[in-house]
């Protein structure tokens, strides 16, 4: 019973940190996309890039967040992170699903514990359409400025070359500047709160308990899948057009349930 209580307390505290990160973004953002639309997500990851907590904001970004973190760690390695560094990227061919994603290393007693990450839809990213929503785009270059993983902040200071490139390619640089700093503020909150948590419980204990939380989450999810009868489930629907031609477009999926796994 003691173990379950400790894990519940840890999980609630981690989720509360993510929620506080989101509140910081919402209250300091320049754009209504953040402060009214809540079109963002905040999450925490361990040093291997596995998600350990998330807040209840945009669900589609939550689904993609771990791909984004995995890709950055595969490409640049965790050793590239130093205290005060923030990396940004929005490349959809590098795990990104949306517009700029941030990730910041969290250090406790000079040892890397994990990462805080926020994903948010900036109000403007350049491209052929205002707001970065070009429904008639025929290639990705028309959608806006693409950034591979690059360092936005180094040791807590702005990497101005990257900021200048972004500001020069956005129609509303003031909104971009404000919203990016709202995201940076959320990462600072996440770093501060997680540091407090880890220092109070110890790195080894917190790491072990986070692994146990992930194990139990997977176990519960697999148990839920097992309750679904095994077999193939098929669905089909049509879109009137693809935004460019008047031809109808078919959407179809087959979902296969095998014991405790689902394949779509």
Q: What's the whole-model pTM score?
A: 0.88
Q: How confident is the model at residue 112 (pLDDT cuts 50, 70, 90)?
A: confident
pLDDT of 41 over the 80 cut: yes
Q: Give residue for tokens 């005060």.
A: 84
CA distance 194 to 15: 11
The arithmetic mean of pLDDT across residues 127-148, rounded, is: 85
Does the pLDDT of residue 149 top 80, yes or no?
yes
- On average, the pLDDT of the chain sits at 88
At a CB cut-off of 8 Å and minimum separation 6, what does 74 contact? Answer: none
Statement: residue 100 has pLDDT above 60: no
Selection from 78, 123, 67, 122 nearest residue 104 by Cα: 78
CA geometry: angle at 83 spanning 49 and 53, to 5°? 35
Q: What's the pLDDT at 208? A: 93
Tokens representing 231 are 């077999």
103 vs 238, more confident: 238
Q: Which residue has the higher pLDDT, 189 or 57?
A: 189
Query: How long is the chain?
Result: 264
Higher-pLDDT residue of 102 and 19 is: 19
17, two tokens: 């940190």
Q: Point out which residues pair with 86 in neighbouring strands.
A: 104, 153
Question: How many other C-beta atoms lie within 10 A of the C-beta of residue 203?
Answer: 15
Percent of the chain residues topping a pLDDT of 90: 50
Residue 70, pLDDT score: 84
User: Using DSSP, how many helices (H) and how many strands (E) does the chain show?
Assistant: 6, 10
């Amino acid at each position: 019973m003691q173990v379950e209580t400790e894990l519940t307390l840890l999980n609630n505290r981690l989720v509360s940190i993510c929620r506080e990160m989101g509140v910081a973004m919402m209250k300091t953002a320049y754009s209504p996309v953040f402060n009214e639309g809540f079109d963002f997500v905040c999450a925490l990851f361990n040093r291997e890039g596995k998600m350990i907590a998330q807040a209840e904001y945009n669900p589609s970004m939550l689904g993609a967040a771990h791909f984004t973190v995995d890709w950055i760690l595969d490409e640049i390695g965790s050793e590239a992170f130093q205290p005060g560094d923030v990396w940004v990227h929005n490349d959809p061919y590098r795990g990104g699903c949306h517009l700029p994603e941030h990730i910041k290393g969290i250090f406790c007693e000079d040892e890397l514990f994990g990462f805080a990450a926020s994903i948010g839809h900036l109000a403007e990213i350049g491209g052929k359409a205002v707001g970065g929503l070009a429904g008639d785009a025929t290639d990705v270059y028309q959608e806006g400025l693409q950034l591979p993983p690059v360092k936005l902040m180094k040791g807590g200071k702005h990497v101005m070359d990257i900021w200048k490139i972004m500001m020069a390619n956005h129609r509303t640089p003031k909104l971009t500047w404000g919203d990016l700093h709202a995201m940076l503020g959320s990462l600072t909150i996440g770093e501060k709160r997680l540091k407090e948590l880890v220092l109070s419980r110890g790195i080894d204990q917190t790491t072990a308990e986070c692994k146990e939380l992930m194990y139990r989450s997977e176990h519960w999810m697999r148990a839920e899948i097992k309750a679904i009868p095994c077999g193939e489930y098929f669905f089909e629907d049509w879109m009137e057009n693809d935004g460019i031609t008047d031809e109808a477009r078919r959407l179809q999926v087959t979902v296969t349930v095998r014991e405790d796994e689902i394949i779509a």
